[in-house]
Structures are given as structure tokens and as C-alpha cells.
Amino acid sequence: MPGATATGALGRALRRYTHAPLAARLFVHGRAFLSDLAVVERYVPKKGFIVDLGSGHGLFACVLREASPTRRVLGIDLDPRKIEVARGAIQDTQWLRFEVGNIVLDTPPRCDAVTIVDVLYLLTFEQQEAVLRNAAAALGEGGPLIVKAQERRLDPRYALTYGQELITVSMGLTKGGRDRFYFPSRAEGVAMFERAGFVVDVVEMPKRIYTDVLYLARKAPTKP
């Protein structure tokens, strides 16, 4: 069963952090519980070179690798402390690695797919679009971009989404967003992807605690 396989991959990924600092271990376990990473993984190609932008402590990158041995995975994050934790979780350095980088300013290397999980809301809308454009530049025509994000809605779950992020930022577990968060509406999000050069479908995440959605995008053909 694909779901069972993905869930098993998440458990194996978590075991990589056995010797990580306590705060990092607590964070990755909390993220595993709340973020439905096994669901996101199912939409990512099973083979090829995958770049995970804003990889943080590296949990999702580890899930990608644990779920499929035919993936090569690179995680990129601005925070060197998180990259240090991520590198401590590496068991297969040939196929899984982490680098410090600025996903807003720098174009990732050419790859077969790009993933971005629970990151964009920490950036202004202009910066979010810059990240999407960088992802487009790294992909060939039809290349997939899988983004897990949260929508701004008239919905009690949106207040819960916003409140949880305030807590994680105030505790120093997440960088950015100290003045505000940048959650687009669905229409704003779709328009952003389209301006960046993607065609996109939006899928609701199955856990309905927060306003989480998946943007399943593919790089649009170049206009003649």
C-alpha cells in the first residue's frame, strides 16, 4: 500500500535524528505529527534529482530519500544551524545532501522536481514569487513543483493556522514572520504560480485541522 510505504518512510526518517539536539528532535517530531509529510511525498516523482527548497532540519528531504532509493535529494536552507542538524541525519551522502543557500536570491541547480513544504508564508508575496521563478528556472518544460502551503480564508481553521505559527516563531523554532505572515488566498496563490511560469492544480490536504493545501504545478511550455 502506497500510504503505508510513505508512513514507514517517515518513521525511518525520524530515526535519523536520534542523536540530534533535543530541541531539534522535538521540532522534527512535532512537524511529522502536524504536517502530513507522508501525504506530500506521494505526489513527488519516485526517481530523479529532487531539490527541496527551505529544507530546514531536513526531515522532508530524508522522507523523500527513505521512500524511494531511486531519488537523489538536495535540501537547501538559509539557516546554517538547521543545515548542521540535517547533515547529522545523513546516512547516504552520495544521494542525500544539504547546503546553505538563499532560496529567494539563488536559482537552484537543474533538477527533475522541486518541493517546498511549509515555507512560503514566512516570505513576502514578492519573495514568494521570486522563489517560484527560481524553481521554474531549475526545471525543464513540464517539470513538477510540489508546494505545501496554507491559504488565507474566512475559516476558523485559518485562525488556528496563524496562531500555531506565531507560537513556533516566538519560540525561535521558525525564522521569519516576526512582523506578520504572508498567507495568500487561493486565487492569489494560483495567480502567483501562473505568473512564475507554471500551470497549477490545488488539492486540499486530508487532515482538516489547518487551511493546508498542495499546489501541484508543472512548468508551462515556453511561449513562441
Structural domain spans, the chain: 2-219
Q: Which pLDDT does position 73 carry in this prediction? A: 98
pLDDT the model gives residue 10: 94
Its pTM stands at 0.87
pLDDT in tens, the chain (224 residues): 344 466 799 999 999 999 999 999 999 998 888 788 999 999 999 999 999 999 999 999 999 999 999 999 999 999 999 999 999 999 878 899 999 999 999 999 999 999 999 999 999 999 999 999 999 999 999 999 999 998 886 665 544 554 555 545 544 445 544 457 899 999 999 999 999 999 999 999 886 667 789 999 999 998 76
pLDDT at residue number 211:
79
Q: In the CATH hierarchy, which top-level class contains the domain 2-219? A: alpha beta
Distance CA 40, CA 36 (A): 7
Terminal-to-terminal C-alpha distance of the chain: 43
How much is the pLDDT for 172? 47
Helix (H) or strand (E) run with residue 72 in it: strand 71-77
Residue 79's pLDDT is 95
Q: Give the pLDDT score at 135.
A: 98
Q: Which amino acid is at 68?
A: S
Residue 122 DSSP label: G
Three-state DSSP at 50 gives strand
SS3 127: helix
Packing angle, helices 22-35 and 59-67, rounded to 10:
60
SS3 134: helix
Tell me what pLDDT residue 181 has: 84
pLDDT, position 179: 53
